[in-house]
Structure 1
Amino acid sequence: MAEQAASNDLAAGIAGQRVLITAGAGGIGLAIARRLAAHGASLFICDVADDALAAFGEEFPDAGRIKADVSDEGDVDRMFDAAAEKLGGLDALINNAGIAGPTGGVDAIDPADWRRTIDVCLTGQFLCARRAVPMLKSAGGGSVVNMSSAAGRYGYAFRTPYSSAKWGVIGFTQSLAKELGPDNIRVNAILPGIVEGPRMTGVIRDRAAQVGVSYEEMETQYLSNVSLRRMVSPDDVGAMIAFLLSNAGANVSGQSLGVDANVEAL
């Protein structure tokens, strides 16, 4: 009976995995960390916020953590060197770090803001993957989960830097899945929709100000394009990632998985 129960456990296989989560000290990243830690994973995270890193250390004193900007190659190298020393290897990379980028018409967007959004949301995933893959190969395989967005499935007016980066994540994910599959490395993308939290509040506030309506009216407009008429939570995303890292997700690769209450359009 115990063996049967274990086979039915959707979290089976996570315990003991060594997992690196970028931007893991807050928001979706923290929800992922909590979910995986509850299932027995060993964690190493990075973030750019000192206060969040300190709070993470208090909640997870045994986990590794470092201040690092994923768009900075030197920071990424230091992070992976520290993770290798702390964890002794790697079984999964969660490429979670990203920024919202600017809101505005394409003719009003500062090129520096464009570059910064691409650098963090897309190039950062490349810089982390290039260091993670040799470690995953040494472990005999593993999993890479790249954070995209519903904006990586639909065009997103007035958010072109963000949407462009997130479409790029889909191409990056599917290419890596083909490249790394023979090495027993699975690569998938998560596409969150409207995720409750400070970042989404800021996006809705900025768009409301741009078109001259109230925050409440703009929020209603956003949710009118969601079939279930609600936002999703960071923990919803964490649950999907736990599935992908578990034995239950052993044959899921190259997929773009929406966690979005069925966003119909942006």
Structure 2
Amino acid sequence: MPSRSSTGRPRERGRRPGPLTGDRVRGRTVLVTGAGNGLGRAISLALVARGARVVLVARTRSHLEAVAAEAAGLPGSTRVATADVADPVSVAALAEELADETVEVLVNNAGVPGPVAPLLEISPEEWDDVFAVNVRGMFLMCRAFIPQMVARGAGDVINLASVSGKRPLTRRTPYAASKMAVIGLTTTLAFEVGPQGVAVNSLSPGPVDGPRMARNFELEAKRTGTTYAEAEEAYVARAALHRMLTEDEVAAAVIAMLHMPGLCAADIDLSAGMVAR
């Protein structure tokens, strides 16, 4: 007999979880956006290594095919599909192309860093370009692929946010604001689709060692009249581990989140201690 609320009406209950033990990655179909390089590449390869079928999505097919080639021989499998996540027509075409796939996990990783400049020097076009990919892109991908999860009563969505959405990051206002928006999108959407068995969470990495951070340090050094090494040190000094993350560490966090079936409406800090609370 269902439990009852203080009003005497039966309490609404969400969908029961699937198996709480075992591998929650192997055999599942995972769509990863921005999969052609950087974090998207690392996340995709980690998933394939664990036996997932990974749909690699980005704008440039040659980049995706290179990742698929790297994944050859791993336990899982890949499929390449191109799309511009900021374009509703492109996302709709992607959903139609993948109608034969059962997307069980959506990893919204596609994002752009935006300008490195004071807000007063940023143009409206630059601002809109950041939000188009970092926020609108997630909205469009969720709108396209969550309905089939709701229909099945199960699914996982992981949105890549950033610690920059939760702490000051001078001269990076569009990026920081967009990542705060991602966290708001995540928590609200979780309450909309959680009762239907779809878990929505976000992962907020700190600075990740790679070309994107190298670009930021170069621009910051030029703007402040310091050296590249000084710009990098000023940034990593804020972290308890006094270093940046690796792409593989972020990929490992995605795998870990998928093995936490009770996780929902959460934002996970993975910052090497840059955010402490």
Structure having the higher Rg: 2
In structure 2, the partner of 1:72 is 87
In structure 2, the partner of 1:209 is 222
Query: Cα distance, 1:154 vs. partner?
Result: 1.0
In structure 2, the partner of 1:173 is 186
**How do residues 1-266 of structure 1 correspond to structure 2 at under 5 angstroms?**
12-60=23-71, 62-85=77-100, 87=101, 89-246=102-259, 249-264=260-275
Distance 2:138 2:80 in 1: 18
1:241-265 deviation per Cα after TM superposition (whole angstroms, max 9, x unaligned): 112223xx10011111011101149
Q: TM-score, normalised to structure 2's length?
A: 0.88
The AA in structure 2 aligned to 1:30 is: R
Contact 2:65–2:80 under 8 Å retained in 1: no
Aligned to 1:64, what secondary structure does the other structure show?
Answer: strand
Distance 2:269 2:224 in 1: 28
1:22-54 deviation per Cα after TM superposition (whole angstroms, max 9, x unaligned): 011211111111111111111112112343122
In structure 2, the partner of 1:3 is none
Distance 2:61 2:28 in 1: 26
The AA in structure 1 aligned to 2:78 is: A
Aligned residues: 254
Aligned to 1:84, what secondary structure does the other structure show?
Answer: coil
Rate the CA distance shift 1:66–1:191 in 2: closer, same or farther, 3 A. Answer: same
Contact 2:269–2:275 under 8 Å retained in 1: no
Query: Cα distance, 1:7 vs. partner?
Result: 7.7
Distance 2:191 2:275 in 1: 28
Contact 1:35–1:239 under 8 Å retained in 2: yes
Distance 1:13 1:220 in 2: 38
Q: TM-score, normalised to structure 1's length?
A: 0.91
The structure in which a higher percent of residues are helix is 1
Distance 1:129 1:263 in 2: 29
Distance 1:209 1:264 in 2: 26
What CA RMSD, in Å, does the superposition of the two structures yield over aligned residues?
1.7
The AA in structure 1 aligned to 2:262 is: N
Deviates more, 1:166-175 or 1:24-33: 24-33
The AA in structure 2 aligned to 1:158 is: R
**Structure 2 gap segments, 5+ residues each:** 1-18
Runs of 4+ in 1 over 3 A off after TM superposition: 6-9
1:203-234 deviation per Cα after TM superposition (whole angstroms, max 9, x unaligned): 11111111111100100000111110011011
Query: Cα distance, 1:177 vs. partner?
Result: 0.9
**Structure 1 gap segments, 5+ residues each:** 1-5
Q: Which has the higher contact order (CA 8 A, sep 6+)?
A: 1
The AA in structure 1 aligned to 2:204 is: L
The AA in structure 2 aligned to 1:13 is: R
